[in-house]
Structure 1
Amino acid sequence: MSNGEDYSKWWHEDSGGIGLTHALEMELLHKEVSPFQKIEIFEHKTFGRILVLDGLIQAAQADEFIYHEMAVHVPLLGRHRDAASVVIVGGGDGGILREVLKHDEVKRVVMVEIDRMVIELSNQYLGINGDYNDPRVELICADAADYLRKAAVAGDMFDLIILDLTEPVGPSSSVFTEAFCQDLAICLRPDGVVLDSDSIFIGRERVQFLQEICGDKDENLVSVMKQKQYLPHISAYRSIVPLYPGAEFGFFLYSKDGFSYAEPFRDFLGRHYNGDVHRAAFALPTWWREELGF
């Protein structure tokens, strides 16, 4: 190296089979293996504390607000509701919950996270979480696929279901199934919406999702929804999240009625989110339209 630095000592993110990785010079603060996954907390001098699950970055103090604000405020502000019920699938770092609770029209929030240890360590080290003691919140530490299956049988329905998932291996593998997609559709109100998201990579031959690269097959929830039509209407918007692999990040809205969420019904100002960003996020590049079909 021209500057004499040995970059081999840096932490490298699991490439997930894509042959691309982040390399960060940072200090390991805590490492623990839960019954579900390996959990690591690092400290970076520029990006702050970083949550890593099974070798993949999940949240960094420096830029987590971009993802969390765009995942929550677009679907909640894109359609007026006097009262809204929300399910968060995953979300152990607590950032999605934090943003959801900023909306007074949200009257009920169920957060279903399989790994209590992720919640506890994120609260302790990252401090980006919402208030779990808010009376609107019901925290359930269980398999989200089991929860939604039971909710579907019981006839429990929601206005917004946010999928804040790790990649389709380990504890998240149970939700990347057709049965889970069917239960999503059953639990969604006729005018409700499901929010899904993923990192997107532009390859020489085709565009790929991180879900495809890390999973057991070239498939993701977007392709399952397109093929099976459990929720027949799909729209998309995008953002840039620097510390996610590839930085290009897609958000996908699944619904029964095809309502457009591209126009916010009221003003809201976040650290990243505002009305102009909301509208602009739906302006998709040509390659999105041609290669991803939006």
Structure 2
Amino acid sequence: MKVSEASRNWWHEETEGVAFTHALDMRLLHSEQSPFQKIEIYEHETFGKVLTLDDLVQASQADEFMYHEMAVHVPLLGRNWTDVSVLIVGGGDGGILREVLKHDFVTQVKMVEIDERVVELSKEYLEINGDYNDPRAELLITDAAKFMKDARNRGDKFDLIILDLSEPVGPSSSVFTYEFCEDFSNCLTDRGVVLDSDSIFVGKKRAYFLQELCGDKDQNLVSIMQGKKLLPHVSGYRSIVQLYPAAEFGFFLYSKDGHDYSQPVSSHIGRHYNPELHKASFALPTWWREHLGF
């Protein structure tokens, strides 16, 4: 029997900068306003439980592995590493931590998340998180911008810094700045790499990052890193994440040494990731090269 429009529970994510919306028929399971943001958990018949922050999709049980595996395994398996230290900035759903901890050569992981309720609710409802009790892992509930500033002042260094950030609204707005980019660039080892990511829209005249459309157009981390050369080498690879706006998704690597991460050194197989996909993800469309500077 066809379900009438009136009986559906349509939820919309709006990207006002390009007058774009996508909709999901979902049932609300939990909603609260934390000290930092609105956190909601929905149930979708096909995609399972869905986490949204300030009305923007962060993860669903159905497709979260597409993002988390490509964010982690490309930088970690694109180089022969030993004794790797990882910093996760954000990542409250725990999926990045889960994938990082799969590698024995990772010896230390710090995860910095401002909102403890995101961690708690994600553990309760999504159940996609890594093991916070792993002896290699340390969860720090604090502001990422302050943590990074303090880490820089202490001289702390990391081999891989993963920026698993929500859009530049609410608590994430403090990290979409030149100052934050300068701080994390100074917290990277000489062999290290920073992993950033964003949804991408292509319009008639140019391409747009979701960061630009949700916040200040001058606070796009990719363009800051490309223009200011805080880390001299910037490269990118691509994937899809079906529930993110536009589905087209970009990953960006910032480094000092310009290492080529496009060649996998392991035969690791995930639900999404595999060595063939790893290599193919660095084949960029012409419009990326023309509009995004890659």
TM-score of the alignment, normalized to the shorter chain, above 0.5: yes
Count of aligned pairs between the two proteins: 293
1:249 aligns with 2:244: no
* TM-score of the aligned structures, taking structure 1 as reference length: 0.97
After TM superposition, list the pairs within 5 Å mapping 1:92-107 onto structure 2: 92-107=92-107
Q: CA deviation at 1:16?
A: 3.7
Pairing 1:73–2:65 present: no
Residue identity opposite 1:227 in structure 2: G
The CA deviation at 1:217 is 2.4
How far, CA to CA, are the matches of 1:103 and 1:261 in structure 2?
A: 17
Take 1:246 and 1:231, find their aligned partners in 2: how far apart are those partners? 29
For 1:4 and 1:125, the matched residues in 2 are separated by: 29
Residue segments in structure 2 that go unaligned for 5+ positions in a row: none
1:209 aligns with 2:214: no
Q: RMSD of the alignment, in Å?
A: 1.3
Give 1:234 shift: 0.3
- The residue type paired with residue 134 of structure 2 is D
Structure 1 residues 144-153 or 34-43, which shifts more? 144-153
- Residue matched to 1:91: 91
Match of 1:181 in 2: 181
Q: Which residue of 1 aligns with 2:58?
A: 58
**Could you say if the C-alpha distance between residues 96 and 194 of structure 1 is closer, same or farther in structure 2, counting changes exceeding 3 Å?**
same
- Counterpart CA distance in 2 for 1:223 and 1:125 is 35
What pairs with 1:99-178 in structure 2 (closer than 5 Å)? 99-178=99-178
Residues 199 and 244 in structure 2, CA contact (< 8 A), matched pair in contact too: yes
Between the aligned partners of 1:108 and 1:197, the Cα distance in structure 2 is 22
SS in 1 for 2:145: helix
Q: Percent identity?
A: 67
Contact 2:200 2:207 in 1 (8 A): yes
Q: 3-state DSSP class of the match of 1:25?
A: strand
4+ residue segments displaced more than 6 Å: none
Task: Tell me the residue number matched to 2:196.
Answer: 196
Question: Given that residues 176 and 219 in structure 2 are in contact (C-alpha distance below 8 angstroms), is that contact kept between their aligned partners in structure 1?
Answer: no
Determine if the alignment matches structure 1 residue 10 to structure 2 residue 10: yes
Query: CA offsets, 1:142-169, max 9 Å, x none?
Result: 0111111111111110000000001111
Per the alignment, in what secondary structure is the counterpart of residue 22 of structure 1? strand
In structure 2, what is the equivalent of residue 289 of structure 1? 289
For residue 5 of structure 1, report the CA deviation from its aligned partner: 2.3
Partner of 1:265: 265
Q: Secondary structure, in 3 states, of the residue corresponding to 1:130?
A: coil
- Structure-2-length-normalised TM-score: 0.97
Measured in 2, the distance between the counterparts of 1:183 and 1:7 equals 50
Superposed displacement of residue 3, structure 1: 7.3
TM-superposition CA deviations, 1:222-268 (whole Å, max 9, x none): 10011111011000000011100000000000001111000011110
Deviation readout 1:124-182 (Å, 9 max, x if unpaired): 00000000000001100001111111111111100000000011111011111111111
Secondary structure of the corresponding residue to residue 138 of structure 2: strand
How far 1:99 sits from its partner (Å)? 0.2
Superposition pairs of residues 25-64 of structure 1, within 5 angstroms: 25-64=25-64
